[in-house]
Amino acid sequence: MNRLILLLALLTAPALAEPTLTLSPVRGGVYLVEDGFYAAENSAVYVGRDHVTVVGATWTPQTAALLVGEIRKVTILPVTEVINTNYHPDRAGGNAYFKSIGAMIVSTRTTRNLMVRDWDKAVAWTRSGLPAYPALSAVLPDTVYPGDFSLQDGKVKALYLGPSHTQDGIFVWFPDEKILYGNCILKEKLGNLDFADVAEYPNTLRKLKALNLPIATVIAGHYAPLHGPDLIDRYLALLEAMPKD
Ligand SMILES: [Zn+2]
């Protein structure tokens, strides 16, 4: 093969399927994390006045380190707290790394309790579908709240409205930016319902609607990340269209 043909062959070869993790600004202090590892997930970062809050720990300590590398490109402020928005590996798998850099791991008491009881089961379930996912041990939240909580002087509000995709999943509302982080609860496809409370899920979404938050943007936890507030009704419709047995 001459050099030109070799070069053309290299240029037209399919790109190596190396996953990526990106951070991009959405509005105000809110940044979108697109973590393409394992089953791709979307998280969020809030850059506040004097510190950074990470919403969702990403899949592993390695993806967490990549995320902190991305955060360092946009701010020198310290990452002091990380919210586990449910007890599953896509929301808590990176905890060990964040702890190693001195961040607090924050969640509701229910999320911590479920992580104590069912982390290994959730990792085994993840590894059954995604064998490359590492057999991580639980690294538990060290700061827990009995229910809703607020960080960054009220600019980051965690809302628990009832069971849905899991028993414990929360939404995170950014009032200044009018952005709702929908976690694994809101997305454009039904996704995994193996841990869901399908009876309560629609009620939880109706409670969210009843809050009448002035939502401009919903960040979905999986699939396409950015949506309007209509994503709530779209997910409700998917739940209602499910065969009942
Ligand atoms: Zn998820």
**CATH number for the 20-240 domain, one of 3.40.640.10, 1.20.1630.10, 2.40.50.140, 3.60.15.10?**
3.60.15.10
Q: Tell me which residue has tokens 């509000």.
A: 157
How confident is the prediction for the chain on average, in pLDDT?
94
Residue 57 CA: distances (Å) to CA of 7, 92, 231: 40, 5, 23
**Ligand 1 centroid distance, CA of 64 (Å):** 16
Q: What is the pLDDT of residues 181-214, one digit of tens each?
A: 999 999 999 999 999 999 999 999 999 999 999 9
The model's confidence at residue 122, banded by pLDDT at 50, 70 and 90, is: very high
pTM score of the predicted model: 0.92
The model's confidence at residue 115, banded by pLDDT at 50, 70 and 90, is: very high
Length of the chain: 245
The model's confidence at residue 227, banded by pLDDT at 50, 70 and 90, is: very high
Question: Dihedral (C-alpha) 96, 97, 102, 107: value to the nearest 10 degrees?
Answer: -50
**Ligand 1 centroid distance, CA of 186 (Å):** 10
Q: Whole-angstrom Cα distance, residue 103 to residue 151? A: 14
Structure tokens given for 114: 């479920």
Q: Tell me which residue has tokens 């919210």.
A: 83
Mean pLDDT of all residues in 34-61:
98
Q: What is the pLDDT of residues 67-78, one digit of tens each?
A: 999 999 999 999
Domain coordinates in residue numbering, the chain: 20-240
Q: For residue 244, what pLDDT is reported?
A: 74
* The dihedral sign for the CA sequence 133, 138, 142, 148: positive
Query: 110: exposed, middle or buried (C-beta count within 10 Å: 0-12, 13-18, 19+)?
Result: buried
**Ligand 1 centroid distance, CA of 54 (Å):** 16
**Ligand 1 centroid distance, CA of 138 (Å):** 17
Q: For residue 119, what pLDDT is reported?
A: 98
Of 13 and 229, the structure prediction assigns the larger pLDDT to 229
